[in-house]
Structure 1
Amino acid sequence: MEFCPNCANLLLVESASRGRELRFFCPTCPYIFPIKHTIVRKAPLVRKEVDDVLGGEKAWKNVDRTRVTCPKCSHGLAYFMQIQIRSADEPMTTFYKCSSKNCSFQWREG
């Protein structure tokens, strides 16, 4: 995307008079820029930092454990917490975190 240096509007592309040449033109002011070569600009993708919806590691500090099998390592105990993430007439969602020191896999039910 190119922008007009005069009025900052988005420049559009059109064919010049002979049909082979292309040029940028501004739809609101008389600015014209002939395109003489390929224009390439690389913009690196900057990923947003994602907030942990469940509260991160602090949320798992004082939770209970229950007997449930971890789908990743088959350990028999996991920490759990229940959160109402849907409307009030829907059941609560249970989040689990494996209590094995080597795993700590997280999953949910409901």
Structure 2
Amino acid sequence: MSTMKFCCECNNILYPKEQREQKTLFYACRNCQHEEVADNFCVYRNEIHHSAGERTQVLQDVAADPTLPRTKAVRCAQCNHGEAVFFQATARGEEGMTLFFVCCNPNCGYRWRD
């Protein structure tokens, strides 16, 4: 597990650095000259924990994501809007990939799968 490291000389944060020639990773203080060899190669770890309500909001927000593909070949069963974003993901409890759609109507956000 990666945690913040602090200088044993001046208590400032140690920053990861590399020595390309020796192919080693170490931590260095930007305040004093203290350096120490890294005990593992993980310098950053981002763990995200969502509640059920947050996941629902994330799915509704995908309609505004400009990087997702859009289609006008489907109609929303909830509001009859003619545009949706779509993406592929693994459905809970199923094997293989499933095609998910999210209505682009900002007042709707209905989601369904194919």
Q: TM-score, normalised by structure 1?
A: 0.41
Could you say which structure has the higher helix fraction? 2
Larger C-alpha radius of gyration, 1 or 2? 1
Which has the bigger relative contact order, CA under 8 A and spacing at least 6? 2
